[in-house]
Amino acid sequence: MSQATLTANTTTPASGESVIQVRDLTVAYNESPVLWDVDLDIEPGKATAIVGPNGAGKSTLLKAILGLVPIAAGATRVYGAHLDTVRNRVAYIPQRGTVDWDFPTNALDVVTMGRYGRIGWFRRPGKADRSIAEECLAKVGMSDFAKRQISQLSGGQQQRVFLARALAQEADLYLMDEPFVGVDAVTERAIVQLLHEVRDAGNTVVAVHHDLESVTDYFDNVVLLNVRLIESGPVSKVFTEENLRRTYHGQSNPIAADGTTAAPRSGSELAPVRGVLR
């Protein structure tokens, strides 16, 4: 895809500091736009949530950044470069549902997989890699399950194993697609804690997220998306009732805990969004 647009935009004030730059990004499936003319900068060292209704293009935005979907127009850059040149700095945790958990492998081997980005596919992990993998498995509280086949783990345990894999990669940028879907409360707390540790160590976290109630607790920044970019910035400034209304217009139930169905509610129920924060 053409990088010309991006090059032309290097004078944009924030672009020098941002981890991810998205410029004039349009992605279309079957000629209908999934993302339309999105401009976005992701701030380093912060945890950012991408929020919006179903079909808003949240996952597509992540995948466009990762080069996994064709771009109709515009460009994305990571650390100011084409993704291919900085791939090792980027860890991607796909939606849990896209992994076939019958895949014949155990928890420790999955975590060790995270090392190949660093050592290359044609070298074999050494003792140091193995011990890093074990440490990462310990960080997510899964040491006791190291040799267990991933098909034998619960949903939350599976998600933690994939998080450990990303940690083993020792990346600088962590992209997560709905990390809390289908996981238990214990796992959710463990993931959030790790996510904050990763951020506090100076790394950047970007997660597609649908639970509006936890946005303020979990994230520093928020990107409100509905095919177009509605607003992005610090949660304290951007995550307002008015902006949520603009993001979820027509779809009056922004709070769908499971992210699947949105039972109709009246617009006035948007008000508690900021009030129910834990």
Partner 1 sequence: MPQQRSPARRISTRSRPISIVAAIPAFAGFGRVGRSAVAGESRLSVVATTGQVGDLARNIGGEHVNVNALMGPGVDPHLFKASEQDVIALIDSDIIMYSGLHLEGTLGEVLEQASKRIPVSEVADGVPVDQLIQPEDDAFDGNPDPHFWFDPTLWAHAADEAARALAEVDGANAESYRLNADAYKAQLLDLDVYATEQFERVPAQSRVLVTAHDAFGYLGRQYGLDVVGLQGISTATEAGVRDVQSIADLLVASEVPAIFVETSVPQRTIEAVQVAANDRGWEVTIGGSLYSDAMGDADTDEGTYLGMMRYDIDTIVAGLTGEEAE
User: Which residues sit at the interface with partner 1, rule CB under 8 A?
Assistant: 29-31, 63, 68-70, 94, 98-100, 102-105, 109-110, 112-113, 116, 121, 124-125
Q: Residues, the chain, total?
A: 278
Residue placing its CB nearer to partner 1 in the complex, 43 or 178: 178
Shortest gap between Cβ of 193 and partner 1 (angstroms)?
25
Residue placing its CB nearer to partner 1 in the complex, 63 or 199: 63
Shortest gap between Cβ of 198 and partner 1 (angstroms)?
21
Residue placing its CB nearer to partner 1 in the complex, 21 or 112: 112
Shortest gap between Cβ of 103 and partner 1 (angstroms)?
5
Residue placing its CB nearer to partner 1 in the complex, 120 or 267: 120
Residue placing its CB nearer to partner 1 in the complex, 75 or 244: 75
Shortest gap between Cβ of 53 and partner 1 (angstroms)?
18
Shortest gap between Cβ of 124 and partner 1 (angstroms)?
5
Compute the distance between CA of residue 231 and CA of residue 51 in angstroms, rounded to an integer: 10
Compute the distance between CA of residue 59 and CA of residue 179 in angstroms, rounded to an integer: 12
